Amino acid sequence: MKRGALDNFFKPKKPFTGALLNQHESQEHNQPVCSTSIIDASNVVSTSIIDIGTVSNQLFQNKFSTSNNNIFKNNVLNSLFIPTKFYTFPSREFNKKKLKFQYNWLEKWEWLAYSKEMDGAFCKYCVLFGKDYVGKGSNQKIGSLVSKPFIKWKDSIEKFTSHSNTDYHRFCTLTADKFRKVDSGEMCDIATQLNSHRQQQCEENRAALIPIIETIIFCGEQEISLRGNDDSGPLNLAKPPKKDGKFRALLRYRANFGDENLKNHLINSNRNSTYISPSIQNEIIDICGQLIRKNIVTKINKADCFSILCDETLDVSGTEQLSMCVRYVDQNNQLREDFLCFLPVYDLTGENLTRIILEECEKLGLDLNKLIGQGYDGAGNMSGQFNGVQSRIRQIYPKAVFVHCASHRLNLALSSALSTKSVRNCLGVMKDIINLFRNNALAGETLKNSILELIPETKKTRLVGLFSLQNIQETDRAISAKACSLLAAVEKSCFIISLLVCENLLSFTLPLSHYLQSPKRDLSSAVDYAKHIIKRLKHMRQNSNESFTQIFQEASKLSKMYFDTEIKIPRTTNKQNYRDNYSCNSPEEYYKISVFLPCLDGFILHLENRFEQNNDILSSIEILLPKFALEKNVEKLKNLTIYFEDKISEKNIASEYLLWCEKWKNNEETPTDIMAILDSCNSTFYPNINHLLRVLATLPVSTTEVERSFSTLKR
């Protein structure tokens, strides 16, 4: 029999690297997102949500030492999982009674922490700053609340009170308090206190770094590029023979005009410690980005819920960039849409995009159990019903409702409605006219002169381009043929009628387009405004004769004024393939049938089809709005209680809703804006309704904020 080596009988001790190992490698995405890993100690900022149970298990079971790892302790204290008031704690059975952890315990004992992984309570200070053995002679082994979770809820009050009075807990609490003060800069650590020269040196270094950091932040806020052609080596305070970067120029200006700390630093510091090199600039910018992102993530995780907004675009290098934003209501009841990051994407399939989005959310530390909405465009890989990003994410987080971007929906509806031949040709001619004046300097100058001659007191340019086309046709040989053909197209009766029909119909959708780009928009109001537009268009359809008569009269007036012609019916034949061939007795009747009615019907049809989406969730949650707050709607609350069973109390929601209806019954002035309604809803008196109103406000409306971020890719 072969004898093994002596080393085989001993299990090697794993070195501590500042990161906790994931004990649940097979954990699926549908488990609660409470990361079991901690950011590496070398990193500056950690945004991962950390479970105290995992920390205790790694420290006491695997014997990892953190005595000299302050970054590790700081990450744990700042990123611990903290349940919200609406969190549903699992129950345990004690003597045939079901008991569970209570949220108010966290408020009463500030050292208490709850582990979602183990469904138990821990003392976070004793876990991080305690020892394996305590008591006289250090012979008493620690137990529940430190090395293992406390789960006997029937004895919780007595256990927590007795633990608070122990000597080792008081020592750990005092140690944690000193640690926080040292970390925040309120007091110095022991090494610094013993070495006054070292402390003075640290203060001087910080004073020298402050103007450098402030200058970089200033350049970033003002969108000023930092570097130039000659941006290396020591910084000479005299004017250089060659221009260097704006960052170095600003430092020189600052040092020469009063900043003595910066001036002394630049003159006296060694060449390798000036902290103004491009690599240091990039590092400071990266740290600023981490701090900003961490601040945003903290606000998001404090909110009741949030929605993710994504869209992709090509950057100047041809790389597909996925922009990611988050919509939420913060602690001050302010509706926010914050940009998080750009993610380079090389595979645009729904599966890969889903993986990238979820991995980034977990990396940032977002609590995806609070995800209640997704906002994307209508591309198949994003909005596909089976393999799109929205369907894949809903398989993992069922409450993440997908809302197709309302701005894209409006654009698609208008594009489909204005697809008739006459209107399509009219828009094509207008596009060619715009390009003619935009791409030719002489044509643009002619346009400005024509505007000043015709309307010297205004900046309105409606149809003024017609005179410019006539002037260009007569004077500029290079583009006279193009101007002549465009002028002939503009003079046609069909063009004038189509132009005025588009102007009339689009004037109804213009306010909705502006609203969808406003920062305070909400889904309920957007759908309501769309319904108002549809209702008005249907009224025009019922009174189509009167509506089109006004348009036709204005078209006749314009045709007579600018071209000295009348609106005429085009030539008709027995068989026509390239234009409308209606048999009518008058031009007004012809253009009403061929242009006005098809466009009007298309507007109504496509707006209804595009904006009827998400009516199921909206019809249920809109009963909370004051204008729909009726006692007869109390039965509709059942759908909401089933959908949000982990967030609202089924027993209390009905009585809350009846009180909510009573609040608005005799109130003559009822707010319509969702944020004004939320301000009127006391979270203590109406906790469930307040949460549902926050959900309604958080549901995505459009991806306007995402598309605004595209402009920063050129910086």
- Taking the C-alpha atoms of residue 239 and residue 409, their distance in angstroms, rounded to an integer, is 56
Q: Say what the pLDDT of residue 40 is.
A: 41
The residue behind tokens 């069909």 is 494
Q: Which H or E element spans position 140?
A: strand 140-141
What pLDDT does residue 478 have?
A: 64
Q: What is the dihedral of CA 507, 513, 519, 521, to 10 degrees?
A: 90
Per-residue pLDDT at 552: 92
Three-state secondary structure along 31-88?
CCCCCCCCCCCCCCCCCCCECHHHHHHHHHHCCCCCCCCHHHHHHHHHHECCCCCCCC
Phi-psi region of 349 (alpha: psi -120 to 50; beta: other; left: phi over 0): beta
What ranges make up the beta strands (E) of 554-706?
A: none
Q: For residue 83, with 0-12 CB atoms within 10 Å meaning exposed, 13-18 middle and 19 or more buried, which class applies?
A: middle
**pTM of the complete model:** 0.71
> Residue 144 pairs with which residues in a beta bridge?
148
* Strand 371-376 versus strand 401-404 pairing type: parallel
Alpha carbons 137 and 381: distance in angstroms, whole number: 65
pLDDT tens-digit profile of 194-225? 677 777 788 888 888 999 999 999 999 998 88
Domain edges within the chain: 18-184, 194-276, 307-405, 424-611, 616-698
CA 381, 387, 393 angle in degrees (round to 5)? Answer: 90
Q: Is 314 exposed, middle or buried (0-12, 13-18, 19+ CB in 10 A)?
A: exposed
Identify the CA nearest to 32 among candidates 16, 18, 49: 49
Under 8 Å CB-to-CB from 214, ≥6 apart: which residues?
none
Residue 195: strand, helix, or coil: coil
pLDDT of residue 357: 95
Distance CA(170)–CA(18), nearest Å, equals: 26
What does DSSP say about strands 401-404 and 97-100: parallel, antiparallel, or unpaired? unpaired
| Number of residues that this document lists for the chain | 715
227, 177 Cβ separation under 8 angstroms: no
Q: What are the CB-based long-range contacts (under 8 Å, 24+) for 179-184?
A: 179/70, 179/73, 179/74, 179/129, 180/77, 183/70, 183/74
> Which residues partner with 341 through β-bridges?
324
pLDDT at 326 (0 to 100): 96
Name the residue among 498, 494, 467, 472 with its Cα closest to residue 483. Answer: 472
375's enclosing H/E stretch is strand 371-376
- Helices 523-542, 493-515: inter-axial angle, 10-degree rounding: 150
User: Which pLDDT belongs to residue 289?
Assistant: 92
- Quote the CATH superfamily of domain 307-405: Ribonuclease H-like superfamily/Ribonuclease H (3.30.420.10)
Closest to 609 in 3D by CA, of 534, 676, 497, 538: 534
Q: What is the dihedral angle through the alpha carbons of 292, 297, 302, 304, rounded to the nearest 10 degrees?
A: 130
- Beta-ladder partners of 100: 91
Q: Quote the CA–CA distance of 158 and 144 in Å, as a whole number.
A: 13
CA distance 487 to 306: 53
Alpha-carbon distances of 453 from 151, 211, 445, 548, rounded to whole Å? 85, 55, 13, 32
Q: Running along the chain, 715 residues long, what does each successive block of 10 average in pLDDT? A: 49 42 35 39 53 84 60 84 84 85 90 91 89 62 85 90 89 88 75 70 85 93 84 81 86 89 87 88 93 94 94 90 95 92 92 94 91 91 90 93 92 90 91 85 75 62 52 65 84 91 93 89 89 94 92 90 83 59 76 91 92 75 84 77 78 87 83 89 90 92 91 78
Helix 523-542 vs helix 406-417: crossing angle, to nearest 10: 20
Taking CA atoms, 77 is separated from 82, 112, 237, in Å, by 11, 12, 44
Cα separation of 339 and 360, whole Å?
13
